[in-house]
Amino acid sequence: MSAAGAAFSLRRRLLWLLLAPSLVLFGLSAAASYVFALHYANSVYDDWLYDSANSLALEVQRSPSGATLDFSESAKRLFEWDAADRTYFTVSGSVSGVIGGRKDFPPMPASAEPLRSARVYDARIDNHNVRAVALDLGRGEHADYGESVIVQVAETTKKRSALAREVLIGTLLPQAVLIAVAGLLIWLGVRRGLEPLNRIAHRIGERSSLRLQPIANDDVPLEVQPLTHALNDLLHRLEAALISQRRFIADAAHQLRTPLTALKLHIEQASHETTLEAIQPVLEQLRISTERAARLSNQLLSLARTEPEAADALAFENLDLSELAREAGAEWVPRALAKHIELSFTADAEPVRVRGDATLLREAINNLLDNAVKYHPGGGAINISVQSQPSPAIEISDDGPGVPAELRDKVFTRFHRGDRSGEVQGSGLGLAIVQGIAQAHGGRVSLRDVIDNHGVAVRLQLPG
């Protein structure tokens, strides 16, 4: 699904969440209102139907042959007349059968409901729904007819349905108006309630990529403030990243200018030489300058990887710190021997497990060994030791000139060159890179003297 397809309107969702329950309640109210309206309509017309049955019962008389119905044709037409509904009746005796009225009147079911001394039920006559009442004259004041007599009267349900609809409309119309007014007020309220988000969006749009000021929280609702706090934190981190990036680019440009200028001068010098013997020293200087430029560019890339913004993307894995240090140290043996330096390695027999980025940790070891070999006068010793207690650590110590106490706070500063051997040939990034790698792994770097202000030991400590 695309981002556009997955997007939704917060205003529409809030309106739906607020209005949907009201619409559901309105529907339930309509159904309940119709049921109650029909119930009360039936109650009223059932009473009228009961009265009609009693009026018809008064016309039943006793005769020697049984019960008879004294009901003239005009009285019958008057009894059956109704402007809206049709009325049906029948009077039947247990011995005489049908005494008067319809012979096909629907019988009373066992589920008929009681109504005073009669029973009412629903039926169909001539394909019409009717409501019928059955009055048994075999009991009470009409008991002496010589047989059991039942009077049944029915009428169609048009008036009942019309009355139920009128009651329903009269009930729901005000509710519908209230729902519409409530919907308008909810829409206005949601629109006004979401206005702070529009203000925040406007304030964010006013921000410049060169200056990321925080968003003011003065008139922001409490529910929205977590969003603004998160945005301000993001803006702060973005501004810090931009400042760090600009500083890094400026430093890199400044540091690369010197070796590139040297390369240019050596190339110009080489172009003026005419003999192979004269050009050979120039080519050697070109090689040295090229190596320094390559070394500097590689260190700048390593430094960029240790920036906090880039450290989040590091791929950590389970590593054996002893094996990593042994492999890195083996690569420095030829260079150490060239200066008559004894390079040794000590570690516990058991692996020292850490979680980290193998490339960066190897780069940190290489930088520490590069400093140790570069600034050592020669004819001494350098030791690589790996420890597991109290926490995993690599320590590289040498018996060289050491680092003066007043310079120890500066050696981790970018582009600071420690002149311990009388040569200024480094980029000043080695220990800064080591410190950045340590911080990216949640560790730290520290320096200490080996013996009486001579020699130095650099300890890279990592979490287990």
Which of these three, 266, 283, 305, is where a domain ends? 305
Q: Are residues 358 and 450 in the same domain?
A: yes
CATH number for 270: 1.10.287.130
Q: What is the mean pLDDT of the chain?
A: 77
Give CA–CA dist 308/89, Å, rounded.
96
Coil, strand or helix at 436: helix
Q: How confident is the model at residue 77 (pLDDT cuts 50, 70, 90)?
A: confident
Q: Are residues 441 and 328 in the same domain?
A: yes
Torsion 363-367-368-370 (CA) sign:
positive
In this prediction, residues 164-170 reach a mean pLDDT of 81
Q: Are residues 98 and 126 in the same domain?
A: yes
Which of these three, 130, 150, 165, is where a domain ends? 165
Residue 453: its pLDDT value, please?
61
Question: Could you tell me if residue 2 is inside a domain?
Answer: no
Q: How confident is the model at residue 177 (pLDDT cuts 50, 70, 90)?
A: confident
Question: Could you tell me if residue 93 is inside a domain?
Answer: yes
Give CA–CA dist 152/133, Å, rounded.
6
E strands, 249-336, where? 317-320
- CB 89 within 8 Å of CB 71: no
pLDDT, greater one: 319 or 140: 319
N- to C-terminal Cα separation, the chain = 42
Question: Could you tell me if residue 196 is inside a domain?
Answer: no
Give CA–CA dist 252/261, Å, rounded.
14
Q: How confident is the model at residue 133 (pLDDT cuts 50, 70, 90)?
A: very high
CATH number for 409: 3.30.565.10
Residue 121: its pLDDT value, please?
92
* Residue 107 half-sphere exposure toward CB, CA atoms < 13 A: 2
Which of these three, 127, 150, 165, is where a domain ends? 165
Q: Are residues 298 and 410 in the same domain?
A: no
Q: Rg of the chain's alpha carbons, rounded to an integer?
A: 51
Q: What is the pTM of this model?
A: 0.45
Question: Could you tell me if residue 103 is inside a domain?
Answer: yes
Minimal CA–CA distance to 421: which of 366, 380, 363? 380
Structural domains counted in the chain: 3
Q: Are residues 26 and 71 in the same domain?
A: yes
Among 55-64, 160-169, 312-321, 380-389, the range with the most confident prediction by mean pLDDT is: 380-389
Minimal CA–CA distance to 458: which of 371, 388, 379? 371
Q: Which domain holds residue 271?
A: 225-305
Residue with tokens 């309940």: 32
Give CA–CA dist 117/94, Å, rounded.
19
Q: Are residues 132 and 18 in the same domain?
A: yes
In 84-131, alpha helices (H): none
% of the chain beyond a pLDDT of 90: 2
CATH number for 160: 3.30.450
Q: Are residues 96 and 60 in the same domain?
A: yes
Q: Is the peptide bond before 114 cis (omega within 30 degrees of 0)?
A: no
% of the chain beyond a pLDDT of 70: 79
In this prediction, residues 34-41 reach a mean pLDDT of 80
Question: Could you tell me if residue 56 is inside a domain?
Answer: yes
Written as one letter, the residue type at 218 is: D
Give the CA distances from residue 81 to residues 74, 113, 152, 230, 331, in Å, rounded to whole numbers and listed in that order. 11, 26, 16, 80, 119
Q: How confident is the model at residue 258 (pLDDT cuts 50, 70, 90)?
A: low
pLDDT digits (tens, 9 = 90+) for 400-423: 777 766 666 666 565 545 554 444
Q: Are residues 296 and 326 in the same domain?
A: no
Question: Could you tell me if residue 220 is inside a domain?
Answer: no
Q: Are residues 267 and 388 in the same domain?
A: no
Q: Which of 145-149, 246-250, 273-277, 399-403 has the lowest mean pLDDT?
A: 246-250
Give CA–CA dist 135/56, Å, rounded.
10
Residue 179: its pLDDT value, please?
82
Q: How confident is the model at residue 259 (pLDDT cuts 50, 70, 90)?
A: low
Q: Are residues 403 and 277 in the same domain?
A: no
Q: Are residues 266 and 152 in the same domain?
A: no
Question: Could you tell me if residue 342 is inside a domain?
Answer: yes
Residue with tokens 């007043």: 406
Q: Are residues 325 and 423 in the same domain?
A: yes
pLDDT digits (tens, 9 = 90+) for 90-119: 888 877 788 888 888 888 888 888 888 889
pLDDT digits (tens, 9 = 90+) for 192-230: 877 777 777 777 777 776 667 777 777 777 777 787 788
Q: Which helix (H) or strand (E) holds 69?
A: strand 66-69
Question: Could you tell me if residue 183 is inside a domain?
Answer: no
